[in-house]
């Protein structure tokens, strides 16, 4: 898989810092599952964290801290037990051909089991529940050859292609690609004619999304 489109560096940096909120982390982690180049970028960004961390002034530990830790590493490992459970889980985990594992926790493994809701024009969506109010996550399924009506953005929009592909003006976005657009862009993604295009889409705060829905519906209801 050749990935040609990546999230902007600010997202990768914040992901490496551990300061990216849930919804955005879901998108970045899903992209990382498909993109070796960004995984290397994360390693580099973590080095920034290491350097800043090394530069911090120390906080004195209590005198018995070391003894406590040494006593605890002698205990039978709860974590090792859970690592074994994890291995067992890995062994039995049904492999999803479409969704990275981090995303399976939110949407299940099978595309056909997702409770898709039609939003018209053979475009379907599924809203993903997150506790994070700073952004909204959804899966989008655009039937082969269909188009999401032209829309602009009041905020940031991330689109990660999970299967199929879409054209957006001059660019082609295929599995693994992430389109990361800010306010200015107006676009009209069209799915490739061979297969449905399935994407993970993250948009800024829900209130901005409310304005996006009517835009989607406008051409279909003829206003």
Provide the binding-site residues for another protein, judged by CB under 8 A.
1, 8-10, 12-14, 16-22, 25-26, 29-30, 32-34, 36-37, 39-40, 43-54, 56-62, 65-66, 68-70, 72-73, 77, 79-80, 90, 95, 100-103, 105-106, 130-132, 134, 182
Helix ranges restricted to H, 74-202: 78-92, 101-107
CB nearer to another protein: give 101 or 215: 101
CB nearer to another protein: give 10 or 110: 10
Least Å from the CB of residue 223 to another protein: 32
Question: Using CA atoms, how far apart are residues 64 and 72, in angstroms rounded to an integer?
Answer: 12
With left for phi above 0 and alpha for psi between -120 and 50, is residue 169 left, alpha or beta?
left
Least Å from the CB of residue 212 to another protein: 19
Residues 150, 153, 155, CA angle at the centre, nearest 5°?
Answer: 165
CB nearer to another protein: give 15 or 148: 15
Least Å from the CB of residue 90 to another protein: 6
Beta strands per DSSP E along 14-155: 117-118, 123-128, 135-142, 151-152
Q: How far is CA 69 from CA 74, 158, 182, in A?
A: 9, 43, 47
Please say whether the beta carbons of 204 and 154 come within 8 A. yes
Q: What is the DSSP letter of 164?
A: S
Least Å from the CB of residue 175 to another protein: 10
The closest alpha carbon to 201, from 137, 152, 143, belongs to: 137
Least Å from the CB of residue 35 to another protein: 9
């Amino acid at each position: 898989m050749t990935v040609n489109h990546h999230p902007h560096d600010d997202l990768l940096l914040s992901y490496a810092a551990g300061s990216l909120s849930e919804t955005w982390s879901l998108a970045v982690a899903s992209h990382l599952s498909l993109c070796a180049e960004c995984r290397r970028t994360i390693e580099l960004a973590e080095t920034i964290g290491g350097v800043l961390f090394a530069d911090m002034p120390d906080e004195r530990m209590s005198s018995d801290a070391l003894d406590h830790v040494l006593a605890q590493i002698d205990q039978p490992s709860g974590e090792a037990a859970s690592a074994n459970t994890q291995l067992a889980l890995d062994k039995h985990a049904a492999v999803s051909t479409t969704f990275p594992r981090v995303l399976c926790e939110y949407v299940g493994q099978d595309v056909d089991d997702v409770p898709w809701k039609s939003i018209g024009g053979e475009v379907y969506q599924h809203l993903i529940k997150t506790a994070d109010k700073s952004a909204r996550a959804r899966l989008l399924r655009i039937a082969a050859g269909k188009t999401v009506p032209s829309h602009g953005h009041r905020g940031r929009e991330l689109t990660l292609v999970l299967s199929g592909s879409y054209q957006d003006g001059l660019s082609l976005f295929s599995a693994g690609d992430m389109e990361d657009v800010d306010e200015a862009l107006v676009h009209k993604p069209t799915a490739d004619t061979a297969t449905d295009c399935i994407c993970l889409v993250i948009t800024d705060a829900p209130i901005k999304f409310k304005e996006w829905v009517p835009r989607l519906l406008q051409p279909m209801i003829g206003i």
